[in-house]
Amino acid sequence: MRPMRYHGPMRAPLLAAALAISGSSAHAAADPVMGQWLNQDGEGKVLIAPCGGAPAEACGAIVWLKAPNDDAGRPVRDIHNPDPALRTRRVVGVPVIRDMKPAGPGRWTGGRLYDPETGKSYKGRLTALSGGRLKVEGCVLVLCQAQIWTRVD
């Protein structure tokens, strides 16, 4: 997983997330991973909440970007998505965390992280840390890269 930052004219963050919440789980709702997080470079926010169709799992989507528009003033789009039909959608609102399963208090695994900067998805892990911080890890095979996000809600 690469650093969470767009390069070139996009200059928007890699991960941040907007999510429609439908349903909830007592475990998920009380878990410290749930909430709104500022990504490591401060360029975007991600809302992590129970998944709409599977409330025992955690999902997240981009809810805010520091730079939501490109240099031409148009909303930043998901132009690197491997599905051509999704390349015109706005990055704000894009699901970037999906299908995370609880692995203990403050720990979620087994899900996927989507990088709108590259259009690639990675195996993911989320771990709540002390001081309102969240470790977000993306892995390919056994190689993992982590970022530390900060709670903003």
Q: Going from the N-terminus, what domains does the chain have, and what CATH number goes with each? A: 26-151 (2.40.128.520)
Q: Round the average pLDDT of the chain to a whole number and report it.
A: 84
Q: Does pTM surpass 0.85?
A: no
**Nearest-CA neighbor of 51 among 82, 27, 84?**
27
Q: What is the pLDDT of residues 95-140, one digit of tens each?
A: 999 999 999 999 999 999 999 989 999 999 999 999 999 999 999 9
Q: Report how far residue 112's alpha carbon sits from residue 139's, in angstroms, rounded to the nearest whole number.
A: 9
**CA atoms of 1 and 73, how far apart (whole Å):** 28
Query: What is the spatial distance between Cα 82 and Cα 79, in angstroms, rounded to a whole number?
Result: 9
Minimum mean pLDDT range among 59-63, 83-87, 116-120, 135-139: 116-120
